[in-house]
Amino acid sequence: MKEIKVRLGSNSYEIHIGSGILEQAGQQLREKGFGGSLVIITNPSVQGLYGDALKQNLTREGFKVIILPVPDGEEQKSLEAAGRLYQELTDCYTERTTPILALGGGVIGDLAGFVAATYLRGVPLIQMPTTLLAQVDSSIGGKVAIDHGQLKNKIGTFYQPKLVISDIAILKTLDPKILSDGLAEVIKYAVIRDRELLGYIENNLDKIKSLDEGVLEEIVFRSAEIKAEIVEKDEKDLGIRAILNYGHTVGHAIESVSDFKVEHGMAVALGMLAAANISNKMGILDKSELLRLNSLIQRVGLPTTMPDLKVEGIIEAIKHDKKVLRGKVRFVLLKSLGSAFITDEVNLSLVKQILADWNE
Ligand SMILES: NC(=O)c1ccc[n+]([C@@H]2O[C@H](COP(=O)([O-])OP(=O)(O)OC[C@H]3O[C@@H](n4cnc5c(N)ncnc54)[C@H](O)[C@@H]3O)[C@@H](O)[C@H]2O)c1
């Protein structure tokens, strides 16, 4: 098992990464001082695959385990779902010391995290991420949130978990599409911070696709290390943490203009290419670097051509995005693959031109 320490003073915690480590969850929780009751929030499919076995295992270790299932889907990141969970927690007589274990992808992590942050003014949160995206991104860094109508992730807070347990073996049941959503984020980490990781992904792509546990463990570990390092520098997202938005400025706009028909990973892949293209047109990034990124994204099976969406609509969505600061749109651009920087000096007419000329 590999370990990463996220150093945030009294909010510090460890990330445990390894294959089959969910089976030792009881022992890991005891070592962190937990005992007695705990609540697992999960969804029915993850419960069937892993939740019931986890419950048995924890029960054997002497924990009293309550499972609170939530239906699958982004629409569960809502005040209504949180309200139901508050009631269920109250009905089970849980206390301020009773930890909530979020067993699932980013949806469960964000919802259970939001509930843990707010119920009884905060109960301990353990993240047990089960998708690649959740293992490399959403379970680390303490952003917990729900959606409100069209406002995605806009109602939330920062609430760090006490422990993150990322079991690599669990990724084997993921739908390939969900896996490539996570892979888009892994490529993002490599592109903003770690050229060596980029080479590793390129050289091991077949093994990643065939879910080789050793290779998956390595990419989860290196991605989680980068996320942890950035979160340590800027826990509340007031500065350098914005670098994690690489590919997300245009990506989110594409997602929202397509009415979420273009899925997150696909949109981020296009957004990463758009940002690389902007960097190249501004004379900062060499063309060969852009082509290398394009070729990797294509090999992963993520899109490299623009869907049929109105360019004007994408530009408007970019202007309304939360990455706008004092009226200026912030972009993350590249000096080279492995080295990114934040700027608000991008001319939107250049972005418009690049999007309009994309498929020509
Ligand atoms: N808090 C953050 O910092 C942060 C960062 C990025 C994304 N997010 C949020 O994460 C969410 C997306 O997360 P996601 O991509 O993990 O999607 P998800 O949570 O919807 O999971 C995707 C699907 O995979 C299934 N699943 C989960 N684990 C599985 C497994 N091991 N085997 C088989 N099926 C499994 C789920 O039931 C679901 O149907 C969004 O709501 C997004 O806003 C949050």
Output b/e per residue, 68-103; b: 16+ Cβ within 10 A.
bbbebeeebbbeebbeebeebbeeeebeeebbbbbb
- Between 322 and 218, the more confident residue is 218
Has residue 322 got a pLDDT over 70? no
- Average pLDDT over every residue of 327-338: 92
Ligand 1 centroid – CA 356 distance (Å): 32
Q: By alpha-carbon position, which residue is closest to atom 16 of ligand 1?
A: 105
Q: pLDDT tens-digit profile of 202-226?
A: 999 999 999 999 999 999 999 999 9
Ligand 1 centroid – CA 175 distance (Å): 11
**Residue 104: per-residue pLDDT:** 98
- Average pLDDT over every residue of 151-170: 95
- Average pLDDT over every residue of 297-307: 95
Ligand 1 centroid – CA 138 distance (Å): 8
Q: pLDDT tens-digit profile of 41-65?
A: 999 999 999 999 999 999 999 999 9
Has residue 2 got a pLDDT over 90? yes
Has residue 151 got a pLDDT over 90? no
Tell me if the pTM is above 0.75.
Answer: yes
Residues contacting ligand 1 via CB (< 6 Å): 43, 45-46, 49, 72, 74, 77, 104-108, 110, 130-131, 133-134, 137-138, 141, 143, 153, 170, 173-174, 178, 181
**Residue 313: per-residue pLDDT:** 95
Find out whether 132 and 171 touch, Cβ atoms under 8 Å. yes
Is residue 253 helix, strand or coil?
A: helix
Ligand 1 centroid – CA 79 distance (Å): 18
**Residue 327: per-residue pLDDT:** 65
Q: By alpha-carbon position, which residue is closest to atom 21 of ligand 1?
A: 105
**Residue 93: per-residue pLDDT:** 87
